[in-house]
Amino acid sequence: MGIIGRRKNKKYDYEPRYYKNTTGSKPFEIKHKFDDQRTTVQNVGLKGKFGNAMQDLKHGADAVVKRRLLIIISILVLIFLWIIDFDLSIFRF
């Protein structure tokens, strides 16, 4: 932090001496399996990561994933209310 700042990770940048590059890529490039499909790989800060995640949630997920996420969140909320002894009788008519 401070004056110097954060150091980026060093990348493996080996290229053989007599390698004829025709495609523009390195022969021993270390790359994650799903980097081409991800939109949150770039280092854009917390606000950018949150924006990318919300955009993926709105446009990338299907209905089954959204329903499953809603069920999980509702179960966790009910467990939290049970732990703090919230009185659910106020919702009865």
Query: How confident is the model at residue 52, as a pLDDT?
Result: 78
Q: Are the C-beta atoms of 40 and 52 separated by less than 8 Å?
A: yes
Residue 82 lies in a domain: yes
Residue 36 lies in a domain: no
| Spacing of C-alpha 8 from chain mean position | 19
Residue 22 lies in a domain: no
The letter for the amino acid at 63 is A
Residue 58 lies in a domain: yes
Segments forming the whole domain that contains residue 63: 44-88
Q: Report the SS3 class of residue 5.
A: coil
Residue 29 lies in a domain: no
0.85 exceeded by pTM: no
- Which of left, alpha, beta for 43 (phi over 0: left; psi -120 to 50: alpha)? beta
Query: In the predicted model, what is the mean pLDDT of residues 75-91?
Result: 87
Residue 72 lies in a domain: yes
Residue 52 lies in a domain: yes
Residue 93 lies in a domain: no
pLDDT tens readout for residues 26-82: 666 666 777 667 655 666 788 887 887 788 778 776 778 888 989 999 999 999 988
Q: How many domains does the chain have?
A: 1
